[in-house]
Amino acid sequence: MGFAFLVGKRVGKAVVRNRVKRRLREIARKRSYILPSGVDLCIMAAQSAGAGSFQELEKEIVEIFEKLREYEENRS
């Protein structure tokens, strides 16, 4: 399972972009069990990702992971 995180300059300056990337990596590490095996993801951060808290970002990512899991389950 692989992850790629795209955090553009619209999110903020380097400090903010790096914070968002660290948060995304931690969320992906903690919550990767939700995803079906063999899935590679590319996550592009929205401009508002720099202003949100860790909990808000985690909630959004978990929702996406759960939708992907449901999609994969229904596909088979």
pLDDT, tens digit, 9 for 90 and up, residues 46-63: 999 999 999 999 999 999
Neighbour count for residue 46 (Cβ, 10 Å): 15
Domains of the chain, first to last = 2-75 (3.30.230.10)
pLDDT given for residue 64 in this prediction: 92
Whether the per-residue pLDDT at 66 is higher than 90: the answer is yes
- CB atoms < 10 A from the CB of 73, how many? 9
* pLDDT of amino acid 38: 84
CA atoms within 13 A on the CB side of 24: 21
**pLDDT, position 36:** 84
What pLDDT is attached to residue 39? 85
User: Where do we find the tokens 């790096």?
Assistant: 18
Residue 76 has pLDDT above 80, yes or no: no
> How far out from the chain centre does Cα 57 lie?
8
pLDDT of 75 higher than 80: yes
Tokens linked to 14: 């380097």
